[in-house]
């Protein structure tokens, strides 16, 4: 079952955008710059702790998060909270996650 977001009185609930994210999707920030590829997704309330400082980890675990990163030995991994997912679009070949934040507002892994 996907986590739901209330759309208002008398309107049906919709799945949270984070619930539509899957590994392998391309992630772009609010400016349209590519952040990387989704390597992990956790739904709100997860007990899987991301590799960030404790205060950030608690918030990410509560709202759900995705981990995205580039490729290669020196690639940087980033975490975006579920509330930072603006839109998820999919086609038969690919998926794109658009964030509400720019790359510098994301949580850097490590």
Cα Rg of the chain, angstroms:
14
Shortest CA distance to 80 belongs to which of 52, 55, 54?
Answer: 52
Is the sign of the CA dihedral 41, 44, 46, 51 positive or negative?
positive
Could you tell me the two tokens for 74? 């020196």
pLDDT digits (tens, 9 = 90+) for 30-87: 999 998 999 999 999 999 999 999 999 999 999 999 999 866 666 789 999 999 999 9
Domain boundaries, the chain: 4-100
pTM, entire model: 0.82
DSSP type of residue 60: H
CATH fold of the domain at 4-100: SH3 type barrels. (2.30.30)
Give the number of other Cβ atoms within 10 Å of residue 19's Cβ.
20
Mean pLDDT score, 14-21: 88
Q: Report d(CA 51, CA 58) in Å as an integer.
A: 11
């Amino acid at each position: 079952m996907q986590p739901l977001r209330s759309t208002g009185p008398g309107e049906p609930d919709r799945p949270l955008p984070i619930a539509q994210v899957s590994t392998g999707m391309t992630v772009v920030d609010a400016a349209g710059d590519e952040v990387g590829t989704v390597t992990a997704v956790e739904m709100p309330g997860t007990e899987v702790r991301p590799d960030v400082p404790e205060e950030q980890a608690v918030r990410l675990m509560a709202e759900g998060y995705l981990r995205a990163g580039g490729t290669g030995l020196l690639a940087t991994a980033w975490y975006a909270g579920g509330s930072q997912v603006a839109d998820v679009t999919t086609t038969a070949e690919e998926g794109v996650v658009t964030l509400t934040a720019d790359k510098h507002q994301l949580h850097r892994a490590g």
